[in-house]
Amino acid sequence: MEDWAKHVNDVWKDQATSLPDQVAFEEAIEGGAVVYGPFGSYT
């Protein structure tokens, strides 16, 4: 993903402010953390 912020704003505009930025997301995934978000939910 070249521009994470643009992707989040395009796909999850209503939830964009509550999602982690690209660095925080990658650090969480690499650290084995759970990242909560609209990825598997219905909106």
Mean pLDDT for each consecutive 10-residue tract of the chain (43 residues)?
86 87 91 80 53
pTM: 0.64
Percent helix / strand / coil, the chain, rounded to 5: 60, 0, 40
The range of the structural domain enclosing residue 14 comes to 4-40
Model pLDDT, residue 31? 95
Q: Are the CB atoms for 25 and 4 separated by under 8 Å?
A: yes
Task: Tally the domains of the chain.
Answer: 1
Contacts of 29 by beta carbon, 8 Å cutoff, 6+ apart = 35
Q: What is the DSSP letter of 12?
A: -
